[in-house]
Each structure stands twice: as structure tokens, then as C-alpha cells.
């Protein structure tokens, strides 16, 4: 075998190895994003029109989230929020639409105290998606019903569903990896 042929074979093997390594890296990165964002990954792909654009967007969300100062709540604050949630749920019996508005306010307040910006729904969803991608559909659904409730277009059953949806995100934000001493939410 001539030295030129040997060099060609070595170069081809190196190129194939590099291509395989790049493909493996891209697959691992995609799987990591899918695992981290859950259903929000596919939603981003659909919204952006391509996986590449969606993955770029999701990485930008991660970078923004990393720059935020998300903090854990002290036990006293978690207890205070749990008690407020109980009060909101009790209010639902007599004033379902008011309770849903109050649940929205309470979730927003909890987000703010944890360190999430609350300046607009789309930005809230983007920031929450990094750690709470699996519960964002709950928040979207609850927020949509809350908007219809303000226009007097939501049924009591839809309002009940909104409370359940708000509770899903509320519970996740409140627990922050901690287990409350009793399950009040």
C-alpha cells in the first residue's frame, strides 16, 4: 500500500469519526433539551418551524433563566402561600370566578417572590419552561379560562378546571424540591 493511499484512508477514517462524534453530540443535546423541557420542546419545534430554530430558542431560554436569581422559599413563606391557597380554594364555592382570579394573582405573586420576572405571559411561560416545562400546559389552560372568565364566558366547570390547572403549577413552584410537612395544596 502506498503512503498516499494510507494517508487517504486515515483522513477518511478521521472524517467519519468526526462526523459520528458530531452526530452523537447533536443527538445527546437534543435528548437533553427534550428531557429538560418535556412537552414544551415539541411546542417550540411547532412554533419555530424547525428543530434547529427551536433548540436555539430553548438554549436561549436556558441562558436567560441561568441569569435570573431564582431562590428557594423559606418554610414560613411556603406555609403562608399554602394557607393562602387554602383560602382561595374555599372561596371557590361561593365565588368561582373571583377564586380563579385570586389563584392567578397568587401564582404570579409566588413566581415573583421566587425570582421569576412577571412582566408578561409569554415571558413568564418562557422563563418557567426551563424548570417547569411539564406543567406549562396547566398554566396556559388556567390563564385562558381566567381570561374568558373576565369576559363572563367561562362555565363553572371550566373555572373548576382552571383551579386544578393553577394548583399544578402552584404546587410545583411552592415545593421547589421540598416536601411540605402536610399536603395542603
Q: What is the pLDDT of residues 63-72, one digit of tens each?
A: 999 899 999 9
Q: What is the pLDDT of residues 164-175, one digit of tens each?
A: 999 999 999 998
What is each CA distance from 94 to 29, 162, 184, in whole angstroms?
49, 16, 20
Note the pTM of the prediction, 2 decimals.
Answer: 0.77
Phi–psi pair at 122, nearest 5 degrees:
-60, -40
Low-confidence ranges of the chain (pLDDT < 70): 177-185
* pLDDT at residue 6, as a whole number: 86
Grid cell of 71 as nine digits: 431562590
- Note the Cα 87 to chain centre separation in Å: 26
Amino acid at each position: 500500500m502506498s503512503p498516499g493511499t494510507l494517508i487517504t484512508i486515515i483522513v477518511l477514517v478521521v472524517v467519519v469519526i468526526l462526523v459520528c462524534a458530531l452526530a452523537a453530540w447533536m443527538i445527546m443535546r437534543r435528548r437533553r433539551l427534550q428531557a429538560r423541557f418535556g412537552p414544551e420542546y415539541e411546542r417550540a419545534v411547532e412554533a419555530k418551524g424547525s428543530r434547529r430554530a427551536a433548540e436555539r430558542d430553548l438554549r436561549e431560554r436556558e441562558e436567560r433563566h441561568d441569569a435570573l436569581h431564582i431562590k428557594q422559599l423559606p418554610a414560613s413563606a411556603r406555609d403562608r402561600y399554602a394557607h393562602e391557597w387554602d383560602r382561595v380554594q374555599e372561596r371557590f364555592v361561593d365565588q368561582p370566578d373571583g377564586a380563579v382570579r385570586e389563584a392567578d394573582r397568587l401564582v404570579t405573586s409566588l413566581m415573583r417572590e421566587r425570582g421569576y420576572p412577571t412582566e408578561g405571559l409569554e415571558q413568564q411561560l418562557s422563563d418557567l419552561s426551563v424548570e417547569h416545562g411539564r406543567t406549562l400546559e396547566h398554566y396556559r389552560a388556567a390563564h385562558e379560562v381566567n381570561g374568558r372568565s373576565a369576559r363572563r364566558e367561562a362555565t363553572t366547570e371550566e373555572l373548576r378546571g382552571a383551579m386544578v390547572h393553577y394548583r399544578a403549577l402552584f404546587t410545583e413552584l411552592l415545593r421547589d424540591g421540598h416536601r411540605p410537612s402536610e399536603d395542603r395544596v
